[in-house]
Structure 1
Amino acid sequence: MDMESTATQKIHPVKNPTFSNGVYWYAVHVKSRHEFKVLERLTGSGVETFLPVVERLSRWKDRNKLIDFPLFPGYLFVHIHKVYDNILSVLKIPGVVRFLGIIPGEPQPVPEEQIVSLRKLVESKKDIDPYPYLKEGEMVRIKSGPLAGIEGVLVEKYGQHMLVLSVDVLQQGAAVKIAASDVEKT
């Protein structure tokens, strides 16, 4: 099975958008750049998986080509019963690092509505950009443009994100409007 057909194979509408028989979606952390290999191994072992992918134009020396990239690099979703044997069978797949959860070692289900929404978003073929999950009050760094490298606190004012650069000794700060996609956590 090639990468392209494997990635798109599992982007089908969910037949039953509610939880059934104790089967839930879980986020799985995988080794960097192993998403497609892990997807192939999991589907080959009978595990229902979902890897949201987006097409990006990749420029090479001699040509440009549309390539599938994971929307969330390093992560994919599995749909399993939360029993020890199922969790262990996923963890034994080469390239799988761990299940995500608030409590270490305890997989946390991903709400079905979020999976359904992700599927619709990916199926829409719209231009989708990954967006950093940022919370107000977090320390962030501007990653591109003339202000690249500046660090500050992310705040929201009048519905817009602002980066506040603090001068501690003066106990003063300066704010600049910024798109959340232009910053990264420090």
Structure 2
Amino acid sequence: MVERVGALTHLESIRASDLRPHWYAVYTLPRHEKSIADRLIQQDLETYLPLYSSLRQWNRRQAKVELPLFPGYVFVKLVVTERVRVLTHPGVVRLVGFNGNAVAIPDCEIERLRSLLAVWKAEPYPFLTVGKQIRIKSGPFASLEGRIIRRKGKMRLIVSLEFIQRAVLLEMDAAEAQLAS
């Protein structure tokens, strides 16, 4: 009887943590990110779809378009027990996770990403696992880590998001970076 009470207490604590909303990455079909984000907002779910501006050309005219910074992904804040509200949308493939279980993204990671994109211009970049690891030593994003590349004489920082296997390319001043130890 004592073991059973202990088991119930453990189950209650698991359920209590499931009742708090957390951020999750939603994996979508290609080019469905904006429509899925709109539908989730209509359901009163907090979403985050980082966008960047790109100049595109169609039949002798140029247009500035807003494209997803992480193609194929939308971030949504929800209670994991309500994941069916997200998974039933056409165009949603799954919640990102491991072994069939959705993995929550810490709130601080989403807030850091929002803050980063409010200050720096970013564009998608292929996910990298090689290169020099650096840490920003000054400014609003001191201690942020990434890999560095040089392109057209400018130094750029690639910040990799391991949980969705995507990266963002940021332009920065070389004086703001130091090699990570």
Pairwise TM-score range, normalised by the shorter structure? 0.5 to 0.7
Q: Give the whole-Å Cα distance in 2 for the aligned partners of 1:55 and 1:24.
A: 28
Write the letter of the residue equivalent to 1:116: E
Root mean square deviation, CA, Å: 2.7
Write the letter of the residue equivalent to 1:46: D
Specify which of 122, 129, 135 is matched with residue 129 of structure 2. 135
The equivalences for 1:167-178 within 5 A come to none
> Any idea what the Cα deviations from partners look like across 1:19-62, whole Å, max 9, x if unmatched?
9x721100000110011111111111121111010111112223
Q: Give the whole-Å Cα distance in 2 for the aligned partners of 1:132 and 1:121.
A: 18
Q: Give the whole-Å Cα distance in 1 for the aligned partners of 2:77 and 2:117.
A: 18
The equivalences for 1:1-186 within 5 A come to 22-83=20-81, 86-103=82-99, 105-124=100-119, 126-136=120-130
Normalising by structure 1, report the TM-score: 0.58
Write the letter of the residue equivalent to 1:109: A
Q: Give the whole-Å Cα distance in 1 for the aligned partners of 2:47 and 2:67.
A: 16
Do 1:25 and 1:111's aligned partners in 2 also have CA atoms closer than 8 Å?
yes
Secondary structure of 2:97's match?
coil
Amino-acid identity (%): 34
Q: Which runs of 5+ in 2 are unaligned?
A: 1-16, 134-146, 150-155, 159-181
Normalising by structure 2, report the TM-score: 0.59
Q: Give the whole-Å Cα distance in 1 for the aligned partners of 2:76 and 2:54.
A: 24
| Structure with a larger share of its residues in strand | 2
Do 1:131 and 1:180's aligned partners in 2 also have CA atoms closer than 8 Å?
no
Do 2:148 and 2:157's aligned partners in 1 also have CA atoms closer than 8 Å?
no
Deviation at 1:63, TM superposition (A): 1.9
Do 1:58 and 1:64's aligned partners in 2 also have CA atoms closer than 8 Å?
yes
Deviation at 1:132, TM superposition (A): 2.8
> Any idea what the Cα deviations from partners look like across 1:92-115, whole Å, max 9, x if unmatched?
011110000122x21101121221
